[in-house]
Each structure stands twice: as C-alpha cells, then as structure tokens.
Structure 1
C-alpha cells in the first residue's frame, strides 16, 4: 500500500513538473510486428504503458457485449493466479493495471515506478496476463451479472436510453450501432470460450499498438516493448470497418419516460480521425456549442431563452465517420420549444457560419488549452495511444497548434457547410409520458 501511495504522489507531482513543450516521438516495430510509439519523460521515475487493439464494441458482431466482457476478463487472472493474486502482485510493487473497452478500441494500461525490481515485477505480471489469460467460469459469470445489472440501470436512466437509441438510429446497419453492453439475450449467450476466441483474434501484435512514456531511455523502452510483444498472440490486423452511409433525411423518435427532464440528442455521422477538416470543424464547433458559457447554444438557448438546463455540441472523430452530436436537457414541458430553437440555431450556424471574432476567440482558447493535454505522463500516453491506433502522423502533436492557427475563416465556413446538413439530423427525445 505504501508503494501505491508513493506512485499516486509522484503522479500528482508529474502533472505539475512537466512543462508545456514539444513532444519528441520515436517509433519502431517489434520483431513480431507490434507498432511502438515512445516519448522519453525523465522528470520523475515513472513509466506509463498503453496497449490499444482494434477490438472494441464495433467488433462484437451478433455477440453484443463480447468486447466488454473480454476486456474485463483480463483482470480475472491467469492459469497460475486468480484475480485477487493478480491484483496483489501489481499492488505489491505500486503498479496500476487497468483495461477498458470502447467502440473502436480495447485498451490495456500499466503504470509503474521505474525502480528496476518493481518495474520488472510489474512487467512480468503484465506479460503473464497477455500470454495466458485464464477466463475462469466463476469470474466470467460474475462479470456477466454485473453487465446485466448495468443494463438494468441504463433502462432507468433517460440519458442512457437516449444515447443508446441515438446510436442505433444514426448507425443503423453499421457496427457502430452495437451497444457496448450488448443486451440481455446476447450477454446470456456468451461464454468464456467466446471471450478467449475474441482475445486470440483481436489482441494480437498485428492488430495492436503500444505507447510508452516515462523515465526511460530508448534502449529500455525497446526492451519493454520486446517483452510485451513476445507475450501477445500473433495475428494480422482485422479488416477495416465499412464506410458509414451518409445521412440524407431527418429522423426523429420520441420515447416516453417517467422523468421531469427531457434528454435530447441531435446529430449525424460526420468525421473520421485524421481528416484534414478536423481543425476547421473543431474551431467552428467551439463557437457553436463546444466553448462552454461563451458558445452560441449556451447563450441563445440557455441564457437568453431559458430553454435548457445544459446544452453543448461536439465532433467525435472515430475510425470511420464518428458523430457530430448535440446534447441538451430541458423540462419536458419545454421540449418542443427547445428542439425548435436548437434547429433554428443549427440552420443559422450552417448558413452563416461563424464570424471573425468567434474564430479568433475559439482559436485562442483552443491553442492556449492544448498544452494542458500534455501535462502528465498519463495525458501523453493517452494521446500516443490514440495516434498509434488511428495511424496519425508523428508530427500530429508538434503541428497541432500550427494547423489550428492556419485555419482561415472563409475556408472554415465552406467546410462547415459541406460537412453538416441541418435538414438530415437524427433526433432522439426521451422524457415525459403520454
């Protein structure tokens, strides 16, 4: 426990110690074909590792919830140690181990002190998990019960109901429509064998990438990468996801729910990771609904008209067209007026774009806040993992501010009109009863 406490304190100090400066990224590929991105950060004796695999919920197929249960099963131990022993081995050397499953990717994280004996022990435990996960029946069944309980809680939460239906309508027939938790029938049909098969196909050297940052040199990082790579299953990358069909007409669905607030989602598929329009659209959205109290949506719909408790918008780029998404909460008796006002603002944004003052304010805020995204080891390794997974260029971080500063107003508004169709939005309204 003392070592874990030391690690937490050092993590806090690292967030204060790292300056906002250019990040030098090194890249190589292991003998087994695992891509590696590395940033040396020598300020404190810590290392952060992030493995990403193309094994998120979009790969579930008809087995909804499989990616999620596979990810959680990696915390259940190996042939030689159960879940409690696994947790104890990490904790005894002050290491933090975790797994996560998103729509696009599966993630494995490890944070450790770089003291040689402690780091070696943490890496030995990690490679044991990667080489021989056990998928024990009892732990799998418990994780399934927890997932089923999660589904029950979601059905009682109007925000979760709205989000799930929003994705189902927006990505109908596409893997992004898969709900990460699956449904009752799919979860009850899953077995530990299904999880093992999913792991062996998706958690492979050819289907993943490794990000490393911390108080290591290149030689040490290469040694760590080799240990991890040799423990993983061998296998090629999975096939790319299919393109998302373009939304060309409006879709609206209202769902009765015993709540005093209506949860409203509006949007459409819009943007891939690595798309050149990312910079222009990020700035356009900052002015529209991504800039907090200063954004148009907040000022017009919440402050001036009092039609919403909260309202915001964002672009969420993914492997294929991720959503442009507006979220709003309002009283059920104001839902119709709020949706009408939101559509008016969306059409005005599309037709008129933003003005020069909004662009400069958005640019200044975005540029000034960017260094905060590099403020700690965990921030850097998260960005490296994203870059590796989506195969972004190595100069992505180095040139991010430059590319934001290069966006011109006329070009921004042109790209906004091309990428957003206000008359072809998916709208889901959850709340109120007949």
Structure 2
C-alpha cells in the first residue's frame, strides 16, 4: 500500500477511535495515525454565547478571540511569535452552546504547542490593549454587517424565532452590547465555562496513547472545575406563519425561513436529516434546487439545513431572489413542503437520498483536522464513540413511515416564520 492509499484509509476509518484518559481524569477520543508526523487536537467546553451576561451579548465571542492574545508572562505579540516560530496553528471559537478550539502542530513541536495551549486556557491575560483592539474589530464588523442583507435577515430571524430567549440574542452581539463588555465580564465567563470537568477532546495523528495522556494532563489537567452554568430553557421556533421585512434598499431580497426541528440526540434526527436532504439539503438534487432554480430561475442559491442547539432545534432555510419575485419563490417553497407533507417522497427519491448520504459520509473525514472536529462534536452531543460506525446503517434503515413521522414533527402544517431583508413584493 502506498502513502496516498494509507492516508485515505486512515482518513476514512475514524471508527478506530479509542478512549485515552489522563491521570487527572481528562478523556480524549484518540485516532492514532503515523502516516504524517502531525497532530490535530479539537476540544470544546460546554457553555457558549447562551451564557453571555444580560445586556452583554458578544461576550463569549470576545472571550474566544482573546484567549490567544497573550497568556501567562507572554503578551500578545510574544505569544503569537512563539506560535509562528514553530508553525503551530491555534484557534478558538464560540457558538451558542460551547467555547472550543483546535490545535495543529508537527510532532516534534507537540510539547511546546500543548504548553502554549495550556497557558491560553488557564492563564489568559485579558490585557486592556488586547481587549480594546478586539472590541474595535468586533464593532467594525458589526457596522459593516448593517448593510449585509444576509446577516440582517439572519439576526432578525433569530430575534423573532426565539424572542426573550438566549438564542434570540446575536452571538456576535450588537454595537451597544460589545461596547458594554468589561474585563470583569470576560474573567467571570472564563471561570464559568473553561473548566477541566466540562471539556470534550479529540486527538488525531502521530501520537501514541501514553504521550497523549501526558499532553492531556498538561493542556487541561491543571484547569479548575468550571463554575455553574445558567439553565437554558427548552424552546422552539415562535410565530410560525408570520413574515417580517427588514427594510434595505437593495434590488434583491435575502430570505431566512424556519420551522420546528429535531435535535441531533433525538431518535428521529436521522429520518429528519434524510427528509431535509430531499427538500433542500441535497444541493443540486434537492426539490427546492430543482423547482426554484433549475425550472424557474428564481434564485441562484436555495436550500435548507437542520440546526441543533442544546435547547432548540429547527429546519432552517435560505433563498435570495429579486424583490419582485419573492412572492413567487416563497410560493414554490411552500408548495414543495406541502407536497412532502401530503405525499412524501417517492421510493426512488428516498433511496437516492440514502445512497448519497451513506456514500458521501467518508468525505467528511479526509483530513486529521476534520476527523478531530467530527469526533469532538459527536462527543459533545453524547452520541457514543461508535456513532460513526452506526451512522450509515441508521440512514440505510430509514423508511417511508420514518419520513412521514419526521415530516409531522418538523413541517407540521407547513407554516413557517420567514424574514426578508430587502424590499420584497408579494411577501
């Protein structure tokens, strides 16, 4: 077997993941691959933007952007120079329910890379100049987005769909909320979220179990236990059937629409996933792509996806079209949803969807970094280390009865909340 074949087999066989537990009790899902002398590490801590202090939306995003802006006795420039000198890739991110990150390094620089990660997690500096620089970048981005129809439609959709709920606040904040965030807010949120007992880790690459256990201890073992998280109540998309316009003087409207969904942990997630592929998730083969774009030329892009948060799930869709054709486009989308509710897909359509979803699954595991991120997300959702091995079988077993049940839980009577940014007619 040549190098390329070995790499391909390793990338497409993530079911070989095994648990590694450090002396401090930190567990990682581990895929050892000696093909290339590199290591990819992904990690996530429970608690993200939904934990932002009241009136301080954007705090988790700012926290994530500041974790590598200086740590321990290294100011921002010195910290970044240490990373660059060893070609270490370290990044952090924040979503609605988690703060996480990734680390990629050559095997020979692993000890230094892990030491820098440990510093960033346990001893971020939160220096005033770094805070103000990141604050300025965030506010500049928010000002720029005020003229972006896609961003404005998305932000308004979540505000209406989850009114009064943590998910209704923009994760990136507002100009006013970002301006109000203090260093004390960042320190408090860090203590609340970044803790040893709340982390999920995946490691892929040229590192053995014993050395990985030592690295886990160094990176996460010294972290304190995290503070208590705020309870985030379960919710669902509100105002189904309502349509909202965000007035922007642009020739093309961008629409975001949504309805109820099922969470990744739900037994009906896989049937809903197959159903979504048929409706709008299947790119060129989906009903919406064929009916809206190919047959009528109403839009360049149209589609749907499943959104699964800790306390909410939904079917989420998008389309952009000329203002004067918005009514027609939304009518076609509604008709296709009604057809799936009433008739379901054909047997051939269902089989093609299952064949594609099972055949393409391995493409999401073609690099060490992708495997690590997939594994850590599966760990975060508590789906089990064998999920990747079970997933295609679950897709293959989906029946027409499963599809009808999923349609009843997601599409219901076909009503949706829709938000258009632009000056649409017929909406």
Give me the TM-score of the superposition, normalised by structure 2: 0.93
* Pairwise CA distance, 1:165: 0.6
Q: Give the equivalent residue in structure 2 for 1:66.
A: 59
Task: Report the Cα offset of residue 268 of structure 1.
Answer: 2.1
SS of structure 2 residue aligned to 1:397:
helix
* Residue in 2 that maps onto 1:39: 31
Secondary structure at 1:253 match in 2? strand
CA deviation after TM superposition for structure 1 residue 13, in Å: 11
Larger deviation, residues 359-368 vs 185-194 = 185-194
For 1:182, the equivalent position in structure 2 comes to 173
Please give the root-mean-square deviation of Cα atoms over the aligned residues, in Å. Answer: 2.1
Q: Which runs of 5+ in 1 are unaligned?
A: 1-11
State the distance in 2 between where 1:336 and 1:298 align.
17
- Corresponding residue SS for 1:345: helix
Instruction: Return the offset for 1:414.
Output: 2.4
Quick check: 2:245–2:423 contact (8 Å CA) kept in 1? no
Structure 2: gaps spanning 5 or more residues: none
TM-score normalised according to structure 1 size? 0.92
Distance in 2 between residues matched to 1:33 and 1:133, nearest whole Å:
23
CA distance in 2, matches of 1:380, 1:32: 25
Q: Quick check: 26-35 or 329-338, which moved more?
A: 26-35
CA deviation string 1:311-364 (max 9, x = no partner): 111112222222211100100111112112211211222222211111111111
Contact 2:152 2:421 in 1 (8 A): yes
Asked if the contact 2:143/2:175 (under 8 Å) is kept, the reply is no
2:120 corresponds to 1:129: yes
Name the structure 1 match of 2:48.
56
Partner in structure 2 of residue 386 of structure 1: 377
2:350 is equivalent to residue 354 of structure 1: no
SS across alignment from 2:303: strand
Return closer, same or farther for 1:138/1:248 CA change in 2, 3 Å cut-off. closer
* 1:82 to partner: Cα distance: 1.3
In the TM superposition, 1:168-179 aligns within 5 A as: 168-179=159-170
The 3-state SS of whatever aligns with 2:104 is strand
Q: CA deviation at 1:257?
A: 0.6
Partners of 1:15 and 1:258 lie apart in 2 by 51
1:94 is aligned, of 87, 97, 108, to: 87
Q: Partners of 2:135 and 2:9 in 1: how far apart?
A: 42
C-alpha spacing 1:306/1:107, structure 2 compared with 1 (3 Å): same
Contact 2:155 2:170 in 1 (8 A): yes
SS at match of 1:194: helix
Query: Match of 1:157?
Result: 148
Q: Which residue of 1 aligns with 2:216?
A: 225
